[in-house]
């Protein structure tokens, strides 16, 4: 594994750890990563919507805007899945719904 890939994986792992602790900014940052394919992850709009949704629920207005923007690129089924994953995260607390994308 190259140093650059290791560093990006560490960034995502760090933000996931912050998200587990309920860090609203980490939710937003993860949404950005999964919507843009940055920090070594593949673009995953369902995952991005989930994180933006969690950020929005936490009061992050940028998360609200980004969630709405990517929803235009998603099917109704994808949005429903993202919402289900966000609910699972909220119900299950820290360990629910963390995908091992890093």
Any idea where the domains of the chain sit in the sequence?
A: 3-91
pLDDT tens column, 40-82 = 889 999 999 999 999 999 999 999 999 999 999 999 999 999 9
Q: What is the pTM of this model?
A: 0.84
Examine the pLDDT at 5 and tell me if it is beyond 50: no
pLDDT tens column, 86-95 = 999 998 855 5
Full 3-state SS string of the chain: CCHHHHHHHHHHHHHHHHHHCCCHHHHHHHHHHHHHCCCCCCCCHHHHHHHHHHHHHCCCHHHHHHHHHHHCCCCHHHHHHHHHHHHHHHHHHHHCCCCCCC
Examine the pLDDT at 97 and tell me if it is beyond 70: no
């Amino acid at each position: 594994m190259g140093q650059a890939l290791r560093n990006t994986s560490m960034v995502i792992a760090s933000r996931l750890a912050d998200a587990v602790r309920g860090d609203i900014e980490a939710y937003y940052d993860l949404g950005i990563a999964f919507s843009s394919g940055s920090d070594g992850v593949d673009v995953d709009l369902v995952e991005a919507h989930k994180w933006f949704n969690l950020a929005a629920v936490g009061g992050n207005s940028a998360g609200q805007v980004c969630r709405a923007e990517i929803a235009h690129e998603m099917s109704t089924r994808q949005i429903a899945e993202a919402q289900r994953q966000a609910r699972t995260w909220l119900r299950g607390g820290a360990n629910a719904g963390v995908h091992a994308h890093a």
